[in-house]
A = this chain, B = another copy of it.
């Protein structure tokens, strides 16, 4: 049976039709409509296209299917990976920072209505979907106690415990981006101060790099060149470019977010004690430039570090597809349960 997965962010909706082994066999990508009813309608539109693909057999080749697989080729479930807080029944968006109208919005209900109740819909937080995707088909395979951290615009987190997605009592667990790292620290958009994502994210990378440029103008030649002479235009990709060239200020910026990444993992281990951390998100593309300082500082700050095994820290494997893959897989579980 196929599963249809959506990844709904503030600016775009990605979708993937997945075969029964969670391989993405067809993809869509559209801008996120402003109105929630239009989001529902857009999802329903893609659903009808996907259904047509399944019925026409257009999906068989892609999944290397046979007559047997064709029999199983209908869409059995829809999984929506959503940027925001999801209620514990996985049906309602309680709050989404980038989609204001998703405030106590019954997304599973409205989408099910929009598709004529042809198949069940499950909604899950996007970081949770990505974490589950890495666990079932990525770097986390076989690690029953695993934590995903996605270092993107912000910092997302997901927890796998005893081989299951850990959601907490109210579906809000794993918000590692808002663990307080520094009392009275950097002002966070959530209204608190010192949250982890202020120190570990693409935004943080830019802030650390801009700070370095202002402090050490004599050493900032390459970064200033890359940003066209205006430090406010300095972006993560430029810093990643410079660090590959050996630029010391770019290295400083990665060292700092790596240091804080190590610190937040040490905090997480005091609570969760996982065997594995999987680091995802665009920033991890630099590999050991980030993971090196992250590992060193994890060791440095891990409580009782001399008297316990240390969790491994690896880069994610499923990349940007992790959310779709995880949403597809989870949607199957839910409808089976």
| Smallest beta-carbon distance A249→chain B, Å | 11
Which chain B residues lie closer than 8 Å to A189 at the CB level? 214
Q: Which residues does chain B contribute within 8 Å of A295, judged by CB atoms?
A: none
Per assembly, the copies of the chain total: 4
Give residues 88-117 of A contacting B (CB, 8 Å): 94-95, 103
Q: What interface size band does chain A fall in?
A: 35 or more
Is B307 touching A85 in the complex (CB atoms < 8 A)?
yes
Q: Are B273 and A271 in contact (CB under 8 A)?
A: no
Give the contacts of A16-61 with B (CB-CB under 8 A).
none
Q: Are A270 and B186 in contact (CB under 8 A)?
A: no
Seen from chain A, the residues whose Cβ lies within 8 Å of a Cβ on chain B are 85, 94-95, 103, 143-145, 157, 159, 161-162, 164, 166-176, 178-187, 189-195, 199, 207, 210-218, 263, 266-276, 301, 303-309, 311
Tell whether, in the assembled complex, residue A186 and residue B186 are in contact, meaning their CB atoms are under 8 Å apart. Answer: yes
Q: How far is the CB of A8 from chain B (nearest CB, A)?
A: 18
B303 pairs with A192, CB closer than 8 A: yes
Query: Chain B nearest CB: distance from A181 CB in Å?
Result: 7
> Is there an interface contact between A178 and B303, defined as CB atoms closer than 8 Å?
yes
Which residue of B has the minimal Cβ distance to A311?
Answer: B169
Cβ-defined contact, B187 with A271, below 8 A: no
Interface centre among A175, A212, A215, A305 (most CB of B within 10 A): A215
Q: Are B273 and A308 in contact (CB under 8 A)?
A: no
**In the bound complex, CA of A308 to CA of B85 (Å):** 9
Contact A217:B301 (CB < 8 A) given known A181-B183, A184-B183, A271-B174:
no
- Nearest 10 interchain pairs by C-beta: A168-B273, A191-B214, A169-B275, A191-B215, A95-B307, A145-B169, A173-B273, A178-B303, A172-B273, A191-B211
Q: A192 near B215 (CB under 8 angstroms)?
A: yes
Closest to A219 in B: B306
* A229: min CB distance to chain B, Å: 11
Q: Say whether A170 contacts B309, CB under 8 Å.
A: yes
Measured in the bound complex, the distance between the Cα atoms of B195 and A167 in whole Å is: 26
Residues on the B chain within 8 Å of A207, using CB: 187
Contact, CB under 8 Å: A186 / B183: no
Can you list 16 A-B pairs, Cβ within 8 angstroms, ordered by A? A85-B304, A94-B307, A162-B164, A169-B274, A169-B311, A170-B273, A170-B275, A173-B272, A175-B273, A175-B304, A183-B184, A184-B199, A185-B194, A192-B211, A192-B303, A193-B211
Which residues of chain B come closer than 8 Å to A190, judged between CB atoms? 214-215, 303-304
Chain B residues, CB < 8 A from A274: 168-169
Neighbouring B residues of A161 by C-beta, 8 Å: 161, 166
